[in-house]
Structure formats: C-alpha cells, structure tokens
Amino acid sequence: MWFYIVRRINLFVFTVAVLFLLVFIMLNALPGELATNLSGVQNPTIAQYDAIVAQYQLDKSWFNQYISFIKQRIHGDFGVSFSDAKPIFDEMLRLLPATIELCIYAMTIALLLGLPLGIIAAVYYKKFGDFFLLGTSLIGYSIPVFWLGVIAIMYFGLDLQWLPVAGKLNLLYQVEHVTGFTLIDIYLSDIQYKQLAYQDALAHLVMPTITLAVIPCAIVFRITRTTMLEELNANYIKAAQARGLHPLSVIFHHALPNAIQPVLSQITLQLSTLLTSAMVTEVIFSWPGIGQWLIQATYQQNYPIISAGILVCAGFVIVVTVISDVLLIATTPRRRSAEYGSI
Amino acid sequence: MLMLQGLGVTLANITSGAHTSMKNWLIFVLKVCFITSILMLVGCGPSVDKNLHTPGIVYCSEGDPTSFNPQLTTNGTTTDASSYQIYNRLVEYDPALGSIVPALARHWFINEDGTSYTFYLRKNVKFHSNKDFTPTRDFNADDVLFSFNRVIDAAHPYHQVSGGSYPFFQSVGFTDIINKIVKVNDYMIVIHLTEKDASFMANLAANFAVIQSKEYADQLAAQNKQAQIDSKPIGTGPFVLDSYFQNDHIRYKPNLNYWNGAPAIEQLVFDITPKSTNRIAKLMTGDCDVSALPQSSEIDIIRQNKKLELQIQTGFNVSYLGFNTERVPFNEPKVRQALAHAINKRAIVEAVYYGSATIADSVLPSLSWAYNDALPPYEYNIDKAKALLAEAGYADGFEMTLWAAPVQRIYNPNAIKTAELIQGQLKKIGVEVKIVTYGWNVFIEKLNDYSYDSLLLGWTADNADPDNFFRPLFSCAALLSGGNRVNWCNDNFDETINQAIAFTDEKKRVPFYLAAQQSLNEQVPLIPIAHALRFQVKSRNISGMSLNPYGGISFAKAKRKAAVNQAGGAQ
C-alpha cells in the first residue's frame, strides 16, 4: 500500500515536471520577449527588466531558467496580465470559485440523476424503460454543450422568459465577494433582500448547471448501468436471489455497493471533459469564471494568462486523479496488485 | 458465497464496520437523490418576479469607460458612464425645448459684440464625498476656473495629468477661442473670447465640458496622487461613483444632496455587456432595465416584446458617400451630380439600416433649426444621371475606387454592404466601382494620404449647433485637422460659415446656413445618404429616461414604476 502511494507520488511529480517543461518550451517558442512572456510585464523599464532576469535567472542555463520558472509558479507568482497588468494569481483566485461552484453543482446533478437512472435501466434490462433511458442518454451524450446552451437560452430565456440567461446574480444585489461561491457569499453578506437574492442566484444557476450536467449525467448513467448489469449477473446475486431475499434488498444491499466503485473512478477520468465543457458553458452564459477569462485571454493572445491557465487546469486534473486513485486503492484492496502507476 | 464474502470485505473497507446502518443509509440516499434531482430541475421554475428587485436600475452598457472624466475623450461609452451621472456642466442642452438651459450657471449674460460671457453660478451645490475626500466648501467659481484652465492652459499643473489630450476641446479650438477666464467673485465668472463664436454656448453644453472640484484636485496634488482625479471622480452630479470592476460592472449611489433633487432610485449599476445580443437577452429576462445601442437587425424582436419599449430619436449624424474632389473625374461637379442621381438612397436605408434611418437630403438633419427644406433633392433617376455624365464627357462611364470601413459605426451599421449596393447601382450608369477596405485604424490612417477616389464615411455631431456639421467637414481649415475627407476647399463657403458664427442670435445665422446648404447642394462634394436614428431600449416599468440626440445618457430622473407596492403584496 505505502509502496503504491510512493510510486503514485513519484509519477505525480514527474508528470507535473513534464507539464511545466512543456509550458516553459511553449513560452520560449511564442513570439515576443521571453522576459515579457514569463512575467507579463510589457515594455519593462531597465530596472524592471533586470529584476525579471534575476527572478527567472534568464542569464543562466536553460535548466536554471526552467527550475526558477517552476519555483516562481509554485510560489504563486504567475506574473501579470498583458491587458491590465494585474497579478494573474489574484485574478485566478477570484475567478476559480465561480467555475468550481458550477462544476460542483453540475456534478451533483449528474450523480443525483445518473446513478438512480442507471440502476433503473439495469433492473429493467432490455425492457422499454431501459431502451428509453439508453436512447435519451445517447442523445444527451452526443449533444455538443454549446448547442445545448444556445437552445436553452433561446427557449427558456428568450421565448418563455423564465430564466435569466447571463451572469451569476442580478447586479442590483450588492453581494460582497468573500468566498466566490455565490450562495455562500449571499449567506455571509448583510444585504436587505437576502431571500430574493437567493432566488435570483438560483434562477441564474439553473440553465448553466443543467447544460453542464447533461454530458456527465449521461456518462454516469451509462457506466452505472453497465457495472450494475455485470453485478446483477454475478453468481453471488443469483445466490442472494435464490435465498429469497427481497429484490430491492438484493439491488441496494448487494449489487449497488460493488457497482458504484467503477463509476466513481470513471468520474475522475471525466474531469478534464467537465472542465472543458465548463469553459464553453461559461462563455455561453457569460458566467464570470476562469473559463471565460481564459478564452478571452486566448483572443487577446495574453500569453501569461494562457500559460497560467494550462498549468492550473492540467495541474488540477492531475492532482485530483492522483488523489482519487490513492483513495480508491486505499479502500479497494483487490485493485492494489493490478494498478501500478498508470495515469 | 466466496463472492459474497468479498463484498463484505469491500463494504467493511469502505465503511469500517457499521454494516447494516450503511445499507440503510444507502437506500435512503438513493431515494433522496431522485427526489432532490427532480426538485432541483423543476423547483427552480420561473425566475423571480422582476418587480421584487431592490429599487435600483441596471443599465447594460456596451463597454468599459476609458476614464471617469469626459474631458479626456470623445468616446461615447466614457461619456455615458460619467458626464451626466457624476458631473454637471455650466449649461445644458434641453432636447425637448431645443435650447440651452441653466445647470450650474443660474443665468448668463452675453455682451453686445458676443465676446464676453458672464455666468452667475448656482449656490449651495455640494460636491460628492468618497473614502478619501470630504468637501469642506460648496461649488464655486474656483471649480469652474480649475476645470476650464486645466483644458486650455498647457502650463496648468493638471493639464498633463492623464495624458494632456482633450480631443473635443481641441477639435473646437477652445484654447484659441478663450482669451481668459476671470473670477469676479465666488459666484460670478466672465469668459472672454478672442473673437465672436456663436457655437460657444453649445460647446459649453456638450457632454465634455464638465466641472470638477478644485478642492479635491488640491488635496490630491498635496498627496501626489493627481491621476486619481479622473479614476475616482468627484463631481456635483446626481450619482456618486461607488465601485468599478473592469469588464464587469460600475456601481453608483445616489447623491442625496443633489442640487436638482436627489434621484428616485437607490442605486444605479452599469452592467458591462459588450455583445449586443447579450444585452437584448438580459433586457428580456430582466437582468437589465435599460440597454445601450441595440442593432438595427434586433429592432423587430424588441418591438414584438410587450415588456420592452423602444425609444427612437433622429440622431445628429449623417452617413455620406464622399468624393476626393481634387481627383479626376471627381473634380468636375457634373460628375458628382450625376452620381448623386444614380444612387438609390431608399434602397440603402431599407437594406442596410432595416429602416432605422431617415433618408438624408442635406448633411444637416431636418431636426436642426438651420435645415434648408427648400432645396430640390437629387431624386433617383438613371436617365438624368446618364445625361449628366455624357455632358461631363464620360458617356461610357469610368472606373473608381470606393473605400468602406469594415466596422459598425452609429451613422452606418454596415459600410461594406452599403458599398456593395452602391456598386450595383452605379453599374447601371456604366461606372465600375472597386471596393477597398482596411481595418479601422489603418483605414483612418490611410485616409490622410487622400489616395482614394471616393469613400463611405459619416459624422456624428457633438452638439446641436449647425456649425458642428459644416466646419469640421468642409472648411479649408479642416483639411489640416483631418475632418475634411472630401478634399474640398471653397473660399465662398468658408466665408459663409464664418459670417454665420459672427451672430449669437440664431435667427440671424439661419440665412447663412441656408446658403451654405445651397452651395453644398450644387457642388455635391459628398452625397448625404442617411441620418441614422438613435435607439434606446428600456423595460416598460422604467420611466424618466429621455433620449438625447447628441449622445450621453442620464439617469437623474429615472425611476421604477410602482415597484414598491407590488413588493409589499402577496408575491
């Protein structure tokens, strides 16, 4: 077990080092001064330039440069943005919670809907309900997020005018930015119309969350269905049925706990897909998160932000994958022998 | 059985014991899952009733202001965010009355020969206060002197702060016109002009001639934070700047001490929404109450929506097809007249503006008091056009370039499309048009070489004075400053418009402007195509918003109708 964790951490360090190397090579290859691309300071004065050279050891070998690049980034210095010269790290801290908030809600909905539906489909295997759910999930899985978002805006936003189509909260509610999670911030703030602010925030959440939840929901559903089917066909289930146990008891007490584990490990694999979809969703619904910020940076060729975005998003996926792997192995001894350091 | 044991082991590992309770818990969770998810999907349902919002107004603005001082720019976004919200001017232009009305100046007196303007200032006008500044005195003559001297006096300590560029004032030659500004006492100033200028009052009423606080400036200078005067503004206007987040929003609080009566709303927010479709969507779903610049193609959707109200006003602008009048064959007035007959303006207004413009017969909109309605318009007539071309010796037509910018401007939403229509129309009289286009910045830069035959451009006036149409577009002086794109310098015409501004009385100026328009109508240095209408969309439950033909939006009188009553009800 410990041996496994050490290997995992080794692999993690190596992967992150490669990630940094790739971004470092990219920053070298991009047009413009390396000092500017690394620090984000445009047209630096001589003093500023010297400071940047010292900071990133640009007068030393490329290996030194690479190491000091990693050091700066790990210490939270991501340079400043080309467009407004604000520190990128602060901006990221301000925007990241909005994205995480959206992802958490979407993932919650995906699990809340996908798991039970997967079980139902498995139980009614090859009956109408199964086919219906399978078909629906296929549609959900294959609809591009941007299209779904736009259709939702057109129909629920503009035609029916049920739901707001952009932003996190009506700006009339002056909610201070504390955690970045809207619902928590509303709770912490001392505004006059709290109840209304909650309703408004929820109304703003509905469409982006559901849009973002559709694909993970379809995936959760399909995996649950498959693993559940496997378990239901296993001998121990047949034995349980033969013993005359209540069918619900067989499903919930025996099959489900086994079926659910591969689902959870699959979900972590979907994380990068979720992040990508979240970015698209943010752009469609003008959700003030990190995705919209990154995509705008891409338009503006704001290299420090783009490189920071790659590092943080990729880093996030790697960290979560490693942690979930370790947790999974820790709770599932039978997988230990098989899985040595694949990511 | 072996498998079952395996299951037991796994479960035990997950839960570390508590076997049965775990199972019950799991069942419970799954039941809750399904119910919650259904509730989450359905329960949110229709959005909150928009009348229940806090008493404030959200304005969907099209972009970030470049600063909070309209003196520094002619950019409409900046003017909207600052001029009428934060500041006041000495005088204002009242679009309803069509005249200049008092603001910070209670009344004024112009001497006989029109070269000295005496202003009696309003008393008990309070400046805003913010975190860094609390005014100790009311507005007085020192503030007026400070605000104008900053602009006209290159040696003024604040002149170079924020770049030292004052585009509007430079374009109307403020520095040259104003001889000196004298403070008579705290509430009386005299502005001496170097020569008579009838457009002077209109310039003072323009969005840009705002009054800042000298006391604040002095305090900032003492702290060596001069630039803050334009980023954390202090004015006398109906709203106080509360906070500004770039690319996101601007928040204003009402100025409860406002001399003209405190605003009726508790807060004003500018929601910065660059995409026009997003602004319309936010209006429809209630996240915005008023929106800037709807596009012509969206007008129909807005009209169909019962909650929204479209306000329309003829804009003080003109889009035109201009000729490089120094180039062959456009140096020949007959050729220009021929082309004027060959252009079907109605078709352009319908296809490019979707009807959101009026056909232009003169560069002056018919709204102007100097508009000449006695001139014969160039009706669309191919035969006349051909005949004129033949007279000029171009019976077989010729080839020409037409420059069109690829960007949307207020006066022309789609210059390329206009150019294509004109291309088709001129083909009928044998004139082959080659459309040339560059990015906006390159386009403007290249115009200075006069290397085009003709171009599609336009003009948006800064104030109501007709001089603002004629001088920048056609005067010989404007050849140097770059406004005169038609390369046309006519001494008689210059004489006429110079005579016109020698009178302060509008009635006496009218004949000169009629003559000027007559001259333009005969010479056709450019073909006026359309006056684009100005649009503003607002939710029907917002009142007190008027539309200003010269740009600039004011929320001083805006309020939400009957919102409070409904909020107290059962909803």
Q: Above pLDDT 90, what percent of chain B?
A: 44
Beta-carbon count within 10 A of B563 CB? 19
User: Tens digits of per-residue pLDDT, A106-142?
Assistant: 999 999 999 889 988 988 888 898 999 999 999 988 9
For B28, B277, B295, B412, the CA distances from B353, given in Å and listed in that order, are 62, 17, 9, 8
Chain A residues within 8 A of B48 when measuring between CB atoms = 196, 199-200, 203
User: Tens digits of per-residue pLDDT, B274-318?
Assistant: 888 888 888 888 889 998 778 777 888 888 888 888 888 878 889
Answer whether B279's CB lies under 8 Å from B536's CB.
Answer: no
Pick the residue of B1, B36, B44, B307 with the most A CBs within 10 A to test the interface with A by mutation. Answer: B44
Rounded (10°) CA dihedral B59, B60, B62, B67: 40
Beta-carbon count within 10 A of A71 CB? 13
Sign of CA dihedral B463, B469, B420, B446: negative
- Which residues sit opposite B534 in a β-bridge? B313
**pLDDT attached to residue B37:** 53
Chain B residues within 8 A of A163 when measuring between CB atoms = 44, 46-47, 285
- Which residues sit opposite B183 in a β-bridge? B189
Query: What are the two backbone dihedrals, phi and then psi, of residue B60, each rounded to the nearest 5 degrees?
Result: -80, 105
Answer whether B425's CB lies under 8 Å from B347's CB.
Answer: yes
**pLDDT attached to residue A38:** 85
β-strands B116-121, B249-254: how paired? Answer: unpaired
- Which residues sit opposite B243 in a β-bridge? B251
- Which residues sit opposite B181 in a β-bridge? B191
Nearest CB to B281: which of A153, A210, A334?
Answer: A153
The span from the CA of B528 to the CA of B412, in Å, is 12
Query: A328-337, B197-206, B342-351, B484-493: lowest mean pLDDT where?
Result: A328-337
Mean pLDDT of A223-250: 85
For B276, B286, B305, B546, the CA distances from B537, given in Å and listed in that order, are 12, 12, 11, 11
User: Tens digits of per-residue pLDDT, A146-167?
Assistant: 899 999 988 888 888 888 888 8
Which has the higher per-residue pLDDT, B10 or A328? A328
**pLDDT attached to residue B3:** 36
- Which residues sit opposite B102 in a β-bridge? B91
The span from the CA of B414 to the CA of B410, in Å, is 10
**pLDDT attached to residue B423:** 95
The span from the CA of B466 to the CA of B370, in Å, is 7
**Mean pLDDT score across all residues of chain A:** 86
The span from the CA of A73 to the CA of A19, in Å, is 12
Task: Count Cβ–Cβ pairs < 8 Å, chain A vs chain B.
Answer: 138
Q: Which amino acid is present at A51?
A: A
Among chain A residues, CA nearest to B60: A171
User: Taking 50 as the threshold, does the pLDDT of residue B185 lie above it?
Assistant: yes
**pLDDT attached to residue B39:** 54
Answer whether A334's CB lies under 8 Å from A54's CB.
Answer: no
Which has the higher per-residue pLDDT, B542 or B462? B542
User: Taking 70 as the threshold, does the pLDDT of residue B562 lie above it?
Assistant: no
Classify B248 as helix, strand or coil.
coil
User: Tens digits of per-residue pLDDT, B225-248?
Assistant: 998 999 999 999 999 999 998 888
Pick the residue of B42, B48, B58 with the most A CBs within 10 A to test the interface with A by mutation. Answer: B48
Nearest CB to A252: which of B14, B30, B34?
Answer: B30
Contact A331 B14 (CB under 8 A): yes
Query: What are the two backbone dihedrals, phi and then psi, of residue B272, each rounded to the nearest 5 degrees?
Result: -80, 110
Structure tokens at B393: 């010796």
The span from the CA of B566 to the CA of B571, in Å, is 7
Structure tokens at A221: 């559903």
User: Taking 70 as the threshold, does the pLDDT of residue A340 lie above it?
Assistant: no
Rounded (10°) CA dihedral A57, A61, A66, A70: -40
Among chain B residues, CA nearest to A240: B4
**pLDDT attached to residue B136:** 93
With left for phi above 0 and alpha for psi between -120 and 50, is residue B191 left, alpha or beta?
A: beta
User: Tens digits of per-residue pLDDT, B449-468?
Assistant: 888 999 998 888 877 788 88
Using 50, 70 and 90 to split pLDDT, how confident is the model at A189?
A: confident
Classify A36 as helix, strand or coil.
helix
**pLDDT attached to residue B181:** 93
Helix intervals (H) in chain A: 2-29, 34-39, 46-55, 62-74, 88-123, 128-142, 145-152, 182-188, 194-232, 235-242, 247-249, 256-269, 271-284, 290-299, 303-331
Using 50, 70 and 90 to split pLDDT, how confident is the model at B437?
A: confident
Answer whether B555's CB lies under 8 Å from B348's CB.
Answer: no
Answer whether A279's CB lies under 8 Å from A310's CB.
Answer: no
The span from the CA of A179 to the CA of A196, in Å, is 20
**Type and span of the H or E element at B496:** helix B491-500
Beta-carbon count within 10 A of A9 CB? 12
Contact A165 B40 (CB under 8 A): no
**pLDDT attached to residue B335:** 94
Residue bearing tokens 């959200």: B58
User: Tens digits of per-residue pLDDT, B109-136?
Assistant: 999 888 899 999 999 999 999 898 999 9
User: Taking 80 as the threshold, does the pLDDT of residue B31 lie above it?
Assistant: no
Contact A334 B10 (CB under 8 A): yes
User: Tens digits of per-residue pLDDT, B90-114?
Assistant: 998 887 777 889 999 999 999 988 8
Residue bearing tokens 């038609």: B486
**pLDDT attached to residue B222:** 93
Using 50, 70 and 90 to split pLDDT, how confident is the model at B47?
A: very low
**pLDDT attached to residue A243:** 85
User: Going by C-beta distance under 8 Å and a sequence separation of 6 or more, which residues neighbour residue A267?
Assistant: A107, A111, A216, A219, A220
Tell which residue, B362, B359, B387, has the closest CA to residue B375.
B362
User: Taking 80 as the threshold, does the pLDDT of residue B29 lie above it?
Assistant: no
Contact A236 B3 (CB under 8 A): yes
**pLDDT attached to residue A342:** 47
Classify A26 as helix, strand or coil.
helix
With left for phi above 0 and alpha for psi between -120 and 50, is residue A315 left, alpha or beta?
A: alpha
**pLDDT attached to residue B284:** 87
**pLDDT attached to residue B530:** 93
Chain B residues within 8 A of A235 when measuring between CB atoms = 3
User: Going by C-beta distance under 8 Å and a sequence separation of 6 or more, which residues neighbour residue B404?
Assistant: B415, B416, B418, B419, B435, B436, B437, B455, B456
User: Tens digits of per-residue pLDDT, A71-97?
Assistant: 988 888 888 888 778 899 988 888 888
**Mean pLDDT score across all residues of chain B:** 84
Tell which residue, B93, B96, B118, has the closest CA to residue B107.
B118
Specify burial of residue B19 (Cβ count, 10 A radius: 0-12, 13-18, 19+): exposed
Q: Which amino acid is present at B231?
A: S
pTM: 0.75
Nearest CB to B269: which of A171, A203, A248?
Answer: A171
CA distance A263 to chain B (A): 15
User: Tens digits of per-residue pLDDT, B354-376?
Assistant: 878 889 999 998 888 889 988 88
The span from the CA of B406 to the CA of B435, in Å, is 11
Contact B33 A161 (CB under 8 A): no
User: Tens digits of per-residue pLDDT, B505-529?
Assistant: 888 899 999 999 999 999 999 999 9
**pLDDT attached to residue A341:** 45
User: Tens digits of per-residue pLDDT, A124-133?
Assistant: 888 898 999 9
**pLDDT attached to residue B77:** 82
**pLDDT attached to residue B19:** 45
Residue bearing tokens 């809750």: B32
Sign of CA dihedral A305, B67, B318, B538: positive
Query: What are the two backbone dihedrals, phi and then psi, of residue A119, each rounded to the nearest 5 degrees?
Result: -65, -45
**pLDDT attached to residue B164:** 84
Q: Which amino acid is present at A262?
A: P
User: Going by C-beta distance under 8 Å and a sequence separation of 6 or more, which residues neighbour residue B543?
Assistant: B558, B559, B561
User: Going by C-beta distance under 8 Å and a sequence separation of 6 or more, which residues neighbour residue B186?
Assistant: B121, B140, B141, B142
Query: What are the two backbone dihedrals, phi and then psi, of residue B531, each rounded to the nearest 5 degrees?
Result: -105, 110
Chain B residues within 8 A of A261 when measuring between CB atoms = 10
- Which residues sit opposite B459 in a β-bridge? B318
Beta-carbon count within 10 A of B196 CB? 16
Q: Above pLDDT 70, what percent of chain B?
A: 88
Answer whether A86's CB lies under 8 Å from A80's CB.
Answer: yes
**pLDDT attached to residue B383:** 93
The span from the CA of B342 to the CA of B363, in Å, is 18
User: Tens digits of per-residue pLDDT, A270-288?
Assistant: 887 888 899 899 999 988 8
Using 50, 70 and 90 to split pLDDT, how confident is the model at A206?
A: very high
Contact A239 B41 (CB under 8 A): no
User: Taking 90 as the threshold, does the pLDDT of residue A20 lie above it?
Assistant: yes
The span from the CA of A72 to the CA of B288, in Å, is 42
DSSP secondary structure, B86-108, as one string: H--BSEEEETTTTEEEESSEEEE
User: Going by C-beta distance under 8 Å and a sequence separation of 6 or more, which residues neighbour residue B237?
Assistant: B84, B85, B86, B87, B88, B128, B255, B258, B556
